[in-house]
Amino acid sequence: MNSKQPKMPALKDANIVKIAVEMDDQVPQLIEFNQKQPLAATILELCNAWDLPDASLYALQFSENNYQNYITEKNRNEIKNGSVLKLTFSPSKTAHDILHKLNTGTNEEKVQALQKLSKLSIDTTFAHEFISKQGLQLIVSMIEGGKCKGAVLAYSLVSFVELMYHGIVFWDILECPFIQTVASYVNNQSADAQDHKIVQASLSILESIVLNGNAKKYELVEKEVTFPNLVAHLHNSNPVVQQNAMALINALFLKADLAKRRAVSATLCSKQVRNIILSNIIQPSTEQIGAEMAHQLYVLQTLSLSLLEQRMNSKMDPQDQDAHEKIKELRKIAFETDSNAGNDSAVRRQLGVFAKDYKKLGFKCDINPAQDFMETPPGMLALDCMVYFARTHTESYTKVVLENSCRADEHECPFGRTSVELVRLLCEILRIGEQPSEQATTFHPMFFTHDHPFYEFYCICIVLLNKTWKEMRATIEDFVKVFSVVREQITRALACQPTSMEKFKAKLQLLTYSEITNLWQQERTTREEWESHAQPIVELKEIIMPEILDLIQRNRIGYLVEGTRFTKYSPRGQRVKDKFWYVCLSPNHKVFHYGDCDEKSVPTIEELPNKLDVVDIKALITGKDCPHMRDKGRKTTPQLAFSLSLDSVEMTTLDFVAPDDQVYGYWTDGINALLGNKMTSKETENDLDTLLSMEIKLRLLDAEGIIIPQEPPPVPADPPNYDFCHDMK
Partner 1 sequence: MSSAARFKPGWYRGFCTKNRSIKGIFPCSYVYVKPCKIENEGLFETAVPLEDPAVREVALVLREWNLIWKNAYVDRETYKFTILRKVMWELLDWRRQLLMGTLTQDQTKELKLRITSKIDWGNRYNVCLVSK
User: Shortest CA distance to 50 belongs to which of 23, 71, 30?
Assistant: 23
Binders in 150-189 for partner 1, by CB under 8 A: none
**Sole binder of partner 1 in the list 82, 342, 633, 714 (CB under 8 A):** 714
How many C-beta atoms surround the C-beta of residue 459 within 10 A? 22
Q: Which amino acid does the sequence have at 441?
A: T
CA dist 586 and 541 (Å) reads 33
Which residues partner with 594 through β-bridges? 583, 610
Assess 546 for contact with partner 1 (CB under 8 A): no
DSSP codes joined into one string, 250-292? HHHHHHS-HHHHHHHHHHHTSHHHHHHHIIIIITTTGGG--HH
CA dist 642 and 626 (Å) reads 6
Binders in 548-577 for partner 1, by CB under 8 A: 551, 554-555, 558-559, 562
**Sole binder of partner 1 in the list 45, 195, 478, 616 (CB under 8 A):** 478
| Count of residues touching partner 1 (by CB under 8 A) | 46
CA dist 49 and 58 (Å) reads 14
Binders in 93-112 for partner 1, by CB under 8 A: none
Give the shortest CB-563-to-partner 1 separation in angstroms: 13
Pairing between strand 575-585 and 58-62?
unpaired
Assess 482 for contact with partner 1 (CB under 8 A): yes
Region of 563 on the Ramachandran plot (φ > 0 left; ψ -120 to 50 alpha; else beta): left
Q: Which amino acid does the sequence have at 673?
A: A
Computed from CA positions of residues 205, 207, 210, 211, in that sequence, does the dihedral angle turn out positive or negative?
Answer: negative
Q: Which is nearer to partner 1, 215 or 706 (CB)?
A: 706
Peptide bond into 377 cis (omega under 30): yes
**Sole binder of partner 1 in the list 81, 191, 228, 520 (CB under 8 A):** 520
CA dist 151 and 111 (Å) reads 6
Q: Which is nearer to partner 1, 7 or 697 (CB)?
A: 697
Contact 532, 625 (CB under 8 A): no
Q: Which is nearer to partner 1, 85 or 472 (CB)?
A: 472
Query: Which stretch, 193-201, 238-246, 294-302, 479-487, contacts partner 1 (CB under 8 A)?
Result: 479-487
**Sole binder of partner 1 in the list 337, 546, 706, 711 (CB under 8 A):** 706
Assess 11 for contact with partner 1 (CB under 8 A): no
Assess 715 for contact with partner 1 (CB under 8 A): yes
Residues 6+ apart with CB under 8 A from 257: none
Give the shortest CB-697-to-partner 1 separation in angstroms: 6
Give the shortest CB-421-to-partner 1 separation in angstroms: 16
User: Shortest CA distance to 392 belongs to which of 322, 456, 336?
Assistant: 456
DSSP state of 448: G
Query: Which stretch, 107-115, 433-441, 516-524, 596-604, contacts partner 1 (CB under 8 A)?
Result: 516-524
**Sole binder of partner 1 in the list 349, 481, 572, 630 (CB under 8 A):** 481
Query: Which stretch, 16-24, 441-449, 674-682, 690-698, contacts partner 1 (CB under 8 A)?
Result: 690-698
**Sole binder of partner 1 in the list 132, 518, 526, 690 (CB under 8 A):** 690
Query: Which stretch, 103-111, 113-121, 447-455, 689-697, contacts partner 1 (CB under 8 A)?
Result: 689-697
CA dist 301 and 521 (Å) reads 34
Residues 6+ apart with CB under 8 A from 451: 269, 271
Query: Which stretch, 38-46, 213-221, 492-500, 711-719, contacts partner 1 (CB under 8 A)?
Result: 711-719
Question: What track of x and - describes contact with partner 1 for positions 644 through 683 (by CB under 8 A)?
Answer: ----------------------------------------
**Sole binder of partner 1 in the list 189, 475, 512, 567 (CB under 8 A):** 475
CA distances to 215, 557, 657 from 666, rounded to whole Å, are 88, 9, 13
CA dist 320 and 669 (Å) reads 85
Assess 722 for contact with partner 1 (CB under 8 A): yes
Query: Terminal CA-to-CA distance of the chain, rounded, Å?
Result: 56
Give the shortest CB-564-to-partner 1 separation in angstroms: 13
Site residues (vs partner 1, CB under 8 A): 472-475, 477-478, 481-482, 484-485, 517, 520, 524, 551, 554-555, 558-559, 562, 687, 690-691, 694-695, 697-698, 701-706, 712-717, 719-720, 722, 724-728
